[in-house]
Amino acid sequence: MAETPLHRRTMHDIRLIALDLDGTLLDSDKRLSENNREALERAASEGVYIVPTTGRFYSAMPDVIRSLPFVRYAILINGARVIDIVTGKVLYRAEMKWDHALKIMEYLDTLDVIYDCFMDNRAWMTEALKGKIDEFSPNEHYRKMLHELREPVDELKAFVSEKKHSVQKIQFFFRDPSIREDLIRDLSIRFPAEAISSAVINNIEINHKNANKGNAITRLSKKLGFGPENVMSFGDGLNDLPMITAAGLGVAMGNASDYIKSHADYVTDTCDNDGVAKAIHHFLWEN
């Protein structure tokens, strides 16, 4: 794609900014600060693509993000889908076969967890497990989101078996955050063909092996006519690691773990202190 007159070259020639939402662009109360919004708006006015990059499906993104007038593309469900918001066209997808997803759910039934799945851009959950959300989610914002966005069905495996549609993501929650790393290792051995990640300390997310935020930004940037070296990405969780390492400039939030920070090119301030805006100003306008 030809360079637009609006595009302003920076030290790193940033053409696209990919942003995780929870714990990154949004603060701890799921709000978009005015400073962050203004930085994104200014970058967009100079020809930089602003791309929300989230584990959520599109309609589950907060209104404050979906209403941003300068956002054209979104990376959804940890990279399972990339969409053109204006046309509704799916630019990339990587989803699990329904029968393979059932095998994963059967294993989860042996654990003390609650789980759901994303299918057809909606989130589904066995009704009895949805009744346990408060037991498994100590964070009030995640509790609210789970209650509001998980659609109950009598039994999830039977529902998936009946629909026979591809599954975009399976995620589950457990009581004790200290077992997360052991669960990730176990799942990686049992299901080596899947991408295993985590967004919060007591959840694990399972996607198709090609569904990750790094693959998604690589595909999208190529379609737009440039490479991942022209991408600046922001994240705080394990599911953000692929895009932090794939981007030419990977930025970890100040509230990210030391592990995520160690893989980033730059560490900014926290999500509650306008970390996104500060890093954009630093690299786009202060260098």
The mean per-residue pLDDT over the stretch 214-221 comes to: 96
- What is the C-alpha to C-alpha distance for residues 273 and 38, in angstroms, rounded to an integer? 14
Q: What is the pLDDT of residues 128-169, one digit of tens each?
A: 999 999 999 877 888 898 999 999 999 999 999 999 999 999
Q: Helices 156-163 and 98-108: crossing angle, nearest 10°?
A: 170
Domain end, chosen from 208, 238, 257, is at 208
Give the per-residue pLDDT at 106. Answer: 98
Q: Does a structural domain hold residue 152?
A: yes
Q: What is the pLDDT of residues 184-197, one digit of tens each?
A: 999 999 999 899 99
Domain end, chosen from 168, 190, 208, is at 208
Question: Structurally, how many domains does the chain consist of?
Answer: 2
Looking at residue 33, which CATH number applies to its domain? 3.40.50.1000
Q: How confident is the model at residue 287 (pLDDT cuts 50, 70, 90)?
A: low
Q: What is the pLDDT of residues 7-44, one digit of tens each?
A: 444 545 999 999 999 999 999 999 999 999 999 999 99
Give the per-residue pLDDT at 268. Answer: 98
Res. 6: pLDDT tops 90: no
Q: Which domain holds residue 159?
A: 98-208
Q: Does a structural domain hold residue 185?
A: yes
In a shared domain, residues 177 and 132: yes
Domain end, chosen from 188, 208, 228, is at 208
Closest alpha carbon to 158 in 128, 181, 180: 128
Give the per-residue pLDDT at 1. Answer: 31
Give the per-residue pLDDT at 209. Answer: 94
Q: Reduce the secondary structure of the chain to three states and give it as a string.
A: CCCCCCCCCCCCCCCEEEECCECCCECCCCCECHHHHHHHHHHHHCCCEEEEECCCCHHHCCHHHHCCCCCCEEEEHHHCEEEECCCCCEEEECCECHHHHHHHHHHHCCCCEEEEEEECCEEEEEHHHHCCHHHHCCCHHHHHHHHHHEEEECCHHHHHHHHCCCECEEEEEECCHHHHHHHHHHHHHHCCCEEEECCCCCEEEEEECCCCHHHHHHHHHHHCCCCHHHEEEEECCHHHHHHHHHCCEEEECCCCCHHHHHCCCEECCCHHHCHHHHHHHHHHHCC
Q: Does a structural domain hold residue 26?
A: yes
In a shared domain, residues 188 and 51: no
- What is the C-alpha to C-alpha distance for residues 102 and 123, in angstroms, rounded to an integer? 15
pTM: 0.89
Looking at residue 121, which CATH number applies to its domain? 3.30.1240.10
Give the per-residue pLDDT at 157. Answer: 98
The mean per-residue pLDDT over the stretch 234-255 comes to: 96
Q: Does a structural domain hold residue 264?
A: yes
The mean per-residue pLDDT over the stretch 80-109 comes to: 97
